[in-house]
Every structure is written in structure tokens, then in C-alpha cells.
Structure 1
Amino acid sequence: MPPSSLLALLDANFNRAREAARVLEDQARFLLHDPALSKKWQLLRRSVGTLEARLGPLSRSRHVAADPGARDQAAPARNPNEIAAANARRLQEALRSLEEHLKAVRPPIAREAARLRFDAYEAQQAALHGPARRLAGVRLMALLTEALCRRPWLETARRLVKGGVDAIQLREKALGDREFLKRARALRKIAPVLILNDRVGLVPLCDADGVHVGEDDLSIADARALIGPARILGVTVHSSRDPVAGADYVSAGPVFVSLQKPGLKPAGLESVRRAVKRGMPFFAIGGITEKNLQQVIRAGATRVAVGTALAAADDPERAARMMASRLRQAGNR
């Protein structure tokens, strides 16, 4: 059995590792709504516990009163991203300490600690670059269709981004793939997040962040198989019974009469309230303007997808700035 001082060190680092993994698991589950990432952190946390159990009851060696570092306070994190980064570092550092100090006394457990440290690094990369993290900062998505634009479509896009649009979804139903791809590549240079509407096969060719599929497009499973796990997948739903497993976000609406789809009966603000109850990220969509945006926010939306009110605005930059500002305020409540 290792000396009691070493047992106390191991106990402290196992505690740090488990606690950090729990924080990251909760973030993935409740803030990012990412079940796959949450499962990664959960499995890692449980693996740490299993590893600790192989050493016996370490808590008997715990002497908080005699520990000079027991009451050290870390610098406070200011937002969820900083909390995630701090706890990922804490987890990796604790596992490294376990690895180094167990090498001489329990080499097999030291090797397991090393493996878990690399698993933690991979999970952190998934958290930083996965679809949930990229989607987390998106509040205002512009639906870009040339026919709606009062200015040249690319100039309109630039003005929208300058005004605060977080994502652009390229919607051009009538364009051939070659011209669509040309436009998508131009937008890739300016859009913070680029989503393609329907054209799943073009996503990797322009390095788009994701794709949005409708009811008559590919299934969620087929679209995911084509774009992979690291890209954003959005899906249109009109009922709480529509399948959404495997999607990163859904659209809720049309909330009001849509000029792009005038024949589609609006679902009203109730569609927003239903989306809130569903418990996954969603964008309210359909006829949303600067004038009715506050109603949509009061119904529970913090994200909206807007076409005509942005693309057809006399001043797209101003329109985007006004809507983005209200959505930021709603998201910070």
C-alpha cells in the first residue's frame, strides 16, 4: 500500500477529476443539449470512479485541516465557455498527476490514467469544435435568397454580417448545383456560420458548417451519414410528433404568414411554446419582422431565422443590428 501522504494526493486528484467531468457533463446536457457529448463526459467520469475503486477507500487519508491548499480559490470563470475550458484543464491536470504518481507503485493504473487523459482531450476537442458549440452562439440566422434582396445578394450578405447576423442559410431552390456551390464558397469567406438549405452533398465541397433539411428531403439519419458528426444538422418540424433524433436544432413555425411560403398556414406563437417544451435548440421561423419579434421572444424564443425582413430591408445592416440586439438581450436573461 502506498504511504498515506501519497494516498492523500491521489484522493485529491481523483476528486478533482470527477468533479470537473461532472461540470462538463452537465454543460453538455443542459446548456448545449448535446447527448453524445454528455455521454462522453459521463463515461469518463465513471471510468475515473472505477479506477479509484481499484485503490481502495482513499478518503480515509483525507486531512482537509492539515492541507495548506485546501482552501485555495481559483479565478472565477465569467461565462459557460470559460467554465468549460477551466474544468477541461482541471480534469486533464488531475489525470496527469495521477498518471505520474502511480507509475512507481501501480503501473497498470497509471497507464489507465494516461488513457483517460487522452480521452478527456478528445472530448474537449469535440466540445470546442462540435456542432453544439458552434450553434451555441447563433441567435439570428439570415435566410438568403437572391429574389428577396433589394441589393446584390453578396452585398446584402456582407451588410447582414456587419449588422450582427450570426449565421447565413443559403436557400436557392431553383439554382443548379454548380452556381449554388459557387455562391456557397463566396459566403464561406464572410459568414460566421454557413448553413446550406437541402444541398447535403455540397456541404463538404464548400466546408459549410451544416445543412438544413425539410420534410421532403433526406432523412435525418441519411443526412447525418453524409455530413458526419462534426457538422450542424437542422430539420423542419411542424408537429411535436415529428422525429428529431440525430438533429442539432429544429425550426418552429411558420409563426406568422411567410412571404416565401404564402400557402402554408401559420402555426402561430403556440408553435414556439411547443418548441420550448421539446427541450432542444430551435429557431422560430416564418414571417418574423422587427415589429413582431418581441412577441416571438415573449413566447420563449431566443433564436430566429429570418428571410424577407432582412434580405428585403432598405438597410439590411440596420435591420440585422436591431434584431440581433433584441435577441442578445433575450438570451442573456
Structure 2
Amino acid sequence: MNPIDLSLYLVLDPDQCGGLDGMVQSALTAAQHGATVVQLRAPQWKKRQWLAAAVALKAALAPTGAKLIINDHVDIALAVDADGVHVGQSDLPVAAVRRLLGPDKIVGLSTSNAAQLAAVPLELIDYIGVGPVYPTGTKADASPVIGAADFAAMMAAKACPAVAIGGIALGRAAPLIRAGADGVAVVSAICGQPDVAKATLALLNEIKEARA
């Protein structure tokens, strides 16, 4: 299992960030202020846009130590030597992703219920995303909301690092960390915020206080 600090996991949204330049600047600012992972996710984009964004993000994040994860597109991850790939239940199977990436890259898998959690191929993945915990407007094809009680049950049953995702805003991270999440993934809590640095630091502070 490849180590990854999931504490504050930023999932980029090109619409909320204001396009490519806004995505890169938001990612850089967030990483400079403590975000540990940045995922490139732009489902409406063409491949060349994905590649341009991945190249720019790779260069911007290199000095920060934040991991660059590509959503779904293994070819883009390979093209820019990203840190890893995150896939959903209907994307390329984890076994194929691992075979293409090799043993040293990070592979994450989305889960949204107890059955999916029980079926996670632990020998092939490095972390799971669990959600949506709360209602979210940033993913049109999101699975049904899990809710706090079922999320806590999934955390009690998990056998690998897990990051919570879905509708997580300031004030909603602490209960998830206390329930056993290794980190929280956010979109609009950072993307599109008037002060990305301030938003990032506020979330990190909430996470640290919950862990204490």
C-alpha cells in the first residue's frame, strides 16, 4: 500500500474555479496552505484539455508536496507521471488500473455503501473515497446520500485509509474525522471561494481540532 495523507483532499471543478487558470491557481494556493491531495476532475472536458490541465497542475504542485491524482483517465496520469488515479464503481476496473500504473502509484476507489466497501480489492488500492455523505450539487451522477450514521458504520468496517466526500463544507468535516475518516474531500468549500487560502486554513484547523 502506497502511503497518502488524505487530510484535506481538493477535487477541482473547472466551472467553479473559472477554467484552467483558475483551477491551477486554486490548487496551488490550497496546496501552499496545507491541502494534501489535489484531484483533477473535469468530466465535460476533451482529452487535450485534460492533458493541458494535468501538465500545468503537475508543474504547479511539484514544490508543494501535494499529491496529484487524476480522476478516471489512466492515460492522462501516465502521460504526466501523476501520483495516481481515482476511479468510480463504473470506471475502468481497479485490476486494470493497477496493471497499467504499476505497483508504485496511488489508486483510489469510490464506495457508497456497505456492499461496495466489503468488495474493495484491498491488495490493489491505496485508499477509498466514501460518499456522498451529504447532499451535493457538484456531481450530477452521484450515488444516494449515505448520511452520518451509515458513514460511521462504514468507517468502523473499513480496512484501508478512507476519505469522506460529498457536500462537505466548513463545519461538516469534524464529525466525519471523529467517525474515523482519514480526511475529507471538498470541492466548493475551496473552489470558487473568494479567499482560497483562508478557506483551506479554516478546513485544516477544523480537521486538526477534530483529531485532537
Q: Same fold (TM over 0.5)?
A: yes
Q: Deviations over 1:151-174 (max 9, x none)?
A: 822222222112211110000111
SS of the residue corresponding to residue 310 of structure 1 reads coil
Cα separation, 2, equivalents of 1:326 and 1:265: 26
The alpha-carbon deviation at position 272 of structure 1 amounts to: 4.0
1:259 to 125, 137, 156: 137
Cα separation, 1, equivalents of 2:31 and 2:95: 31
SS of the residue corresponding to residue 189 of structure 2 reads helix
Larger Rg: 1
The alpha-carbon deviation at position 277 of structure 1 amounts to: 1.9
**TM-score of the two chains, using structure 2 as the length reference:** 0.87
Superposition pairs of residues 137-152 of structure 1, within 5 angstroms: 137-149=5-17, 152=22
Cα separation, 2, equivalents of 1:203 and 1:297: 29
Q: Please, which runs of 5 or more residues in structure 2 have no aligned partner?
A: none
Cα separation, 1, equivalents of 2:210 and 2:104: 28
SS of the residue corresponding to residue 283 of structure 1 reads strand
Superposition pairs of residues 73-222 of structure 1, within 5 angstroms: 131-132=2-3, 135=4, 137-149=5-17, 152-191=22-61, 192-222=66-96
Cα separation, 1, equivalents of 2:6 and 2:158: 19
Q: Deviations over 1:254-280 (max 9, x none)?
A: 010011135643111122431342121
Q: Deviations over 1:122-169 (max 9, x none)?
A: xxxxxxxxx22xx0x331110001101258222222221122111100
Q: Deviations over 1:45-69 (max 9, x none)?
A: xxxxxxxxxxxxxxxxxxxxxxxxx
CA contact (8 A) 1:161 1:190 kept: no
Compare relative contact order (CA 8 Å, sep 6+) and give the higher one, 1 or 2. Answer: 2
The alpha-carbon deviation at position 185 of structure 1 amounts to: 1.1
2:120 aligns to what? 244
Specify the code of the residue in structure 2 equivalent to 1:162. Q
1:227 to 101, 107, 111: 101
SS of the residue corresponding to residue 181 of structure 2 reads coil
Cα separation, 1, equivalents of 2:182 and 2:99: 29
Q: Please, which runs of 5 or more residues in structure 1 have no aligned partner?
A: 1-33, 35-130
Seq. identity, %: 31
**TM-score of the two chains, using structure 1 as the length reference:** 0.57
CA contact (8 A) 2:174 2:210 kept: no
Specify the code of the residue in structure 2 equivalent to 1:189. A
Cα separation, 1, equivalents of 2:171 and 2:100: 39
2:147 aligns to what? 268
| Paired residues, number | 200
Specify the code of the residue in structure 1 equivalent to 2:198. R
CA contact (8 A) 2:30 2:200 kept: yes
Cα separation, 2, equivalents of 1:228 and 1:206: 15
1:29 aligns to what? none
Cα separation, 2, equivalents of 1:142 and 1:306: 5
CA contact (8 A) 1:146 1:172 kept: yes
Matched, 1:289 2:133: no
The alpha-carbon deviation at position 330 of structure 1 amounts to: 4.0
Cα separation, 2, equivalents of 1:164 and 1:177: 29
SS of the residue corresponding to residue 115 of structure 2 reads coil
More strand by share: 2
